[in-house]
Amino acid sequence: MMENLVYIALFAPFAGSLFSALFGMSPKQTFVGIVASSLLFISFAASATLAYHVYSTGAAVHVTMMEWISAGDLTIPFGFLVDQVSVTMMTVVTLVSTVVHIYSIGYMDHDKSFNRFFSYLSAFVFSMMILVMSDNFAGLFIGWEGVGVCSWLLIGFWYHKADQPREENPSISPSWAANEAFIVNRIADLGMLVGLFIIYWNVGSLQYDVVFAAVPELSGSVLNAAALALFIGAMGKSAQFPLHTWLTDAMEGPTPVSALIHAATMVTAGVFLVIRANPIFSATPEVSFFIAALGTFVALFAASMALVNRDLKRIIAFSTLSQLGYMFAAAGLGAYWIALFHLAAHAFFKALLFLGAGNVMHAMDGELDIFKMGGLKKAMNWTYIYMGVASLALAGIPVFAGFFSKDAIIETAFNEGTYVLWAILVLTAGMTAFYSFRQVFLTFHGKARYDESTLHPHEMYKFVLIAMSPLALLAVIAGFFMGGFQTFVTKLLPDYVMSDHTHHLIWVLTAVVLVFAVGGIWLAYKKYANGLKRDEELENSFIYKLLANQYYIPQFYEEFITKPYAMLSEHMWKDVDMKIVDATVDGIAKFLYKSGDGTRKMQTGNLSNYLNWMALGSVLLLVVAAISAMLS
């Protein structure tokens, strides 16, 4: 029974993808979207049932579908493991994906590639399900790559758009952004692969249970190398510095894709990997601390760039980056269950934010510059409420989901005695509140800054708004399940509880974070709630420009990596490939051709000539035979 549910949860999205692919080339058919969404919902229902099963029995469901690779000592089955961690991920992924699917029916309404879109979208979810459900690293890697391919397809969905200069559009074009995402992920995947090789080399298996059982016997250097290599893989998927540039550029894809990438599939994979492989990371405190430090840095780094950005979707993308930093900080500090909880809570409100942004974009006819919006509250009341709720959750205001999860991470940093990380995370919390509400106020409050005579913003379809409501509900209430969640997942993950000292100070700590969060919102309110007053001096200051240009990192990559690499490639092509490799192959062919052309003249058709050649050949053979007889 449970086994069947596992297969249903896993393969329903795949079926949806294949079904939609049947109509991939035909014009829009609404039922394709409906079927894909229903199959996703079935997957969600199966996941939720499994979650209840795992919750009530406390036992994991482990199924092996079939042998996959069996060569020598290497056996890798297609096995799926539904335990506390993966069932959490499955439920979150399928819930968010179902909402995104239904949302897409409305959002992609006018797109001529409607059917194709659903095919990709469901395949994306299927890859993510493989990633989280696999019971071995090889299966995880397949899902990992599948997610990469599907993200490439989806980010570049509007591949026909032409390239623009970086000054006009920082991500140049959808196909450019898709390639960037894919290539950056390939770089990180190499690290991941190396990690898998190290593990297989030293343990002789890639099954989670075998590997984790063998961790105590492995030497420190092996573990460090494996943990670091795996984390490099996680850095790529979860867009940690210095591999973060693709995430904001991925905003070129349709908005539901952004919601899916940021909330459910793709970026959470890196955090999931760290949580899943927690026995390895627990055994390597140096690597773990590096993860925590990098996560904290990225949290601040991304938040700083979000402060000045004008692109609605990019601001949210930066906030994802920042929140991923929080998750890594928690995971690095050993609070795996808190990281997983923040992942889940974040998925709900981040998906909601993106879908809200999609509504705004839909209403504004594709405009994303928040400086050109304003006053949308009247026309889009529901979207305003949704985005407001999501922003409150993101800012970490009490009762909303983000408050519980983010606060727990900040407390963890304090509890571990890493006060620098704690201070940065608190500061980042304030910045988060500021930029999320800067965006809300600029979009929905004040006066309209667009041309009201030509543009008439309108609310999204009703069914879309209704479909978004579960996310809004969860963004509000998810935090209340924190205690239950802790007892649930700590059956598998190491428990993490605050020390008495921290427990004592918990109100003070919470108050400090709250002061920053509310302060951020208040600042945003002061500055932006009554319309946009642009400050030329500030906007021309060095720091503002630095932040607005993402610390010039994309330009740096372009100048110092992309361009030299292109030059090197051209050199290799023209000088090495054409002049050596190609020339050798061509030379052989030319020699054969020339010799054939030359000897063709022997064929005169005159029997006498043939006889002469034959006699010459016989003489030559005789001479060779005589010489070899003499020599031997």
Output the CA–CA distances (angstroms, integers) from residue 29 to 22, 102, 107, in the order listed. 11, 14, 14
Residue placing its CB nearer to another protein in the complex, 110 or 601: 601
Residues 33-92 that bind another protein (CB under 8 A): none
Residue placing its CB nearer to another protein in the complex, 57 or 603: 603
Shortest Cβ 627–another protein spacing (Å): 20
Alpha carbon distance 472, 353 (integer Å): 9
Binding residue (CB under 8 A) for another protein from 1, 66, 607, 631: 607
Burial of 528 (0-12, 13-18, 19+ CB in 10 A): buried
Binding residue (CB under 8 A) for another protein from 456, 600, 628, 631: 600
Question: Largest Cα–Cα distance in the chain?
Answer: 113
Alpha carbon distance 324, 426 (integer Å): 15
Which range binds another protein by CB under 8 A, 81-89, 108-116, 535-543, 606-614? Answer: 606-614
| 454 binds another protein, rule: CB under 8 A | no
Closest by CA position to 442, among listed 348, 511, 368 = 368
Contact call for residues 320 and 291 (beta carbons, < 8 A): no
Amino acid letter, residue 534: R
Site string for another protein, 401-440 (x = CB under 8 A): ----------------------------------------
| 615 binds another protein, rule: CB under 8 A | yes
Burial of 461 (0-12, 13-18, 19+ CB in 10 A): middle
Which residues is 80 bridged to in the sheet? 63, 134
| 595 binds another protein, rule: CB under 8 A | no
Binding residue (CB under 8 A) for another protein from 487, 555, 595, 603: 603
All residues at 6 or more sequence positions from 176 whose CB lies less than 8 Å from its CB, including other chains = 163, 249, 252
Residue placing its CB nearer to another protein in the complex, 456 or 600: 600
Question: Any alpha helices (H) in 156-219, and if so which ranges?
Answer: 174-203, 208-214
Binding residue (CB under 8 A) for another protein from 219, 221, 606, 632: 606
Closest by CA position to 391, among listed 362, 421, 364, 354 = 354
Which residues is 547 bridged to in the sheet? none
| 26 binds another protein, rule: CB under 8 A | no
Residue placing its CB nearer to another protein in the complex, 566 or 616: 616
Give the DSSP H/E element, type plus range, for residue 62. strand 61-71
| 612 binds another protein, rule: CB under 8 A | yes
Which range binds another protein by CB under 8 A, 151-159, 190-198, 280-288, 605-613? Answer: 605-613
Q: For another protein, how many residues bind (rule: CB under 8 A)?
A: 12
Helix, strand, or coil (residue 501): helix
Which range binds another protein by CB under 8 A, 76-84, 374-382, 452-460, 601-609? Answer: 601-609
Q: Which residue has the tokens 């409607």?
A: 114
| 604 binds another protein, rule: CB under 8 A | yes
Shortest Cβ 580–another protein spacing (Å): 36
Which range binds another protein by CB under 8 A, 19-27, 160-168, 371-379, 604-612? Answer: 604-612
Residues 376-405 that bind another protein (CB under 8 A): none
Shortest Cβ 623–another protein spacing (Å): 15
Shortest Cβ 609–another protein spacing (Å): 8
Q: For residue 285, say if its preceding peptide bond is cis, omega within 30 degrees of 0.
A: no
Contact call for residues 26 and 6 (beta carbons, < 8 A): no
| 221 binds another protein, rule: CB under 8 A | no
Sign of the alpha-carbon torsion through 267, 271, 272, 277? positive
Cα Rg of the chain (Å, integer): 29
Binding residue (CB under 8 A) for another protein from 453, 540, 608, 628: 608
Shortest Cβ 173–another protein spacing (Å): 57
Which range binds another protein by CB under 8 A, 22-30, 336-344, 377-385, 597-605? Answer: 597-605
Shortest Cβ 608–another protein spacing (Å): 5
Q: Which residues form the interface with another protein (CB under 8 A)?
A: 600-608, 611-612, 615
